[in-house]
Amino acid sequence: MNKLMVLAACVFLAACSDGDSPSLVDTKTVAGPNGQTVSVRLDEIIDPATDTAELGAGNRYVAVVFTVLNTSDAPFTETRPDSDAVMITSASADVLTADLHEVSDCEPFAKDVTEVAPGDELSGCVTFEVPADADLVRFQYYFSDVVTFEL
């Protein structure tokens, strides 16, 4: 797999009991192993998210929308995040990987390999099936370095 960088974003989420979700939180820039730089932006947390797939009893879907912007002078190649590359953590320390169902609330990342040219960005959402009563505190996206967003 040809990856020039690996990027991890830890996003601390507020539990949204009224169904509201925070919008843009922050943007962080990180360096990759070959000197490229990317910015990662958390765009939106959709909680609950709407999915047509059957949900497990006592669960809800949560979608995380984020953008990766190539701020370097060289292109890099990226694919849709797989379930091992994105995780969400609850306040009780349960770590859940993405199930990558498509939801009607947001567009998923492209499934094909995408070259991200300098100045271009790659945006999309990933989904998680989480317990209905879970308070979510962290989102992680593994790419190359750790970026932490706090609300």
Domain ranges of the chain: 8-146
Whole-model pTM above 0.85?
Answer: no
Query: How many other CB atoms sit within 10 Å of the CB of residue 62?
Result: 26
CA pair distance 30, 123, nearest whole angstrom: 17
Fold of 8-146: Immunoglobulin-like (2.60.40)
Q: CA–CA distance from 63 to each of 2, 31, 49, 56, 87 (Å)?
A: 27, 26, 6, 16, 11
Written as tens digits, the pLDDT of the chain (151 aa) is 323 222 323 333 333 333 444 444 578 777 766 777 888 888 998 999 997 778 888 999 999 898 988 898 988 777 667 676 778 888 998 888 888 788 999 998 877 777 888 999 989 998 999 999 999 988 877 767 666 665 3
First-to-last alpha carbon distance for the chain, in angstroms, is 34
